[in-house]
Amino acid sequence: MGSKVEKNVDEKVRLDKWLWAARFYRTRALAKQAVEGGKVHYQGAKAKCSRVVEVGAKISIRQGFDEKIIEVQAIAGNRRGAPEAALLYTETATSEKARADLATSRKAMGQGSVSDGKPTKKQRRDQQRFEQQQL
Q: Return the pLDDT at 27.
A: 95
Can you say whether the dihedral through the CA atoms of 115, 100, 65, 62 is positive or negative?
A: negative
Q: Is residue 120 part of a domain?
A: no
Query: Would 78 be classed as within a structural domain?
Result: yes
- 21 occurs within a structural domain: yes
pTM: 0.74
User: According to the model, what pLDDT value does residue 106 have?
Assistant: 83
The 3-class secondary structure across the chain, one letter per residue, is CCCCCCCCCCCCCEHHHHHHHCCCCCCHHHHHHHHHCCCEEECCEECCCCCECCCCCEEEEEECCEEEEEEECCCCCCCCCHHHHHHHEEECHHHHHHHHHHHHHHHHHCCCCCCCCCCCHHHHHHHHHHHHHHC
Contact 50, 35 (CB under 8 A): no
Contacts of 94 (CB under 8 A, 6+ apart): 69
CATH of the domain at 44: 3.10.290.10
Domain with 62 in it: 1-101
Assess if residue 130 is contained within a domain.
no
**What is the pLDDT tens value at each position of the chain, 135 positions in all?**
445 555 555 689 999 999 999 999 999 999 999 999 999 999 999 999 999 999 999 999 999 889 999 999 999 999 999 999 999 999 999 999 999 999 898 888 875 556 678 889 999 999 999 999 887
Within a domain: residue 134?
no
Instruction: Give the total number of structural domains in the chain.
Output: 1
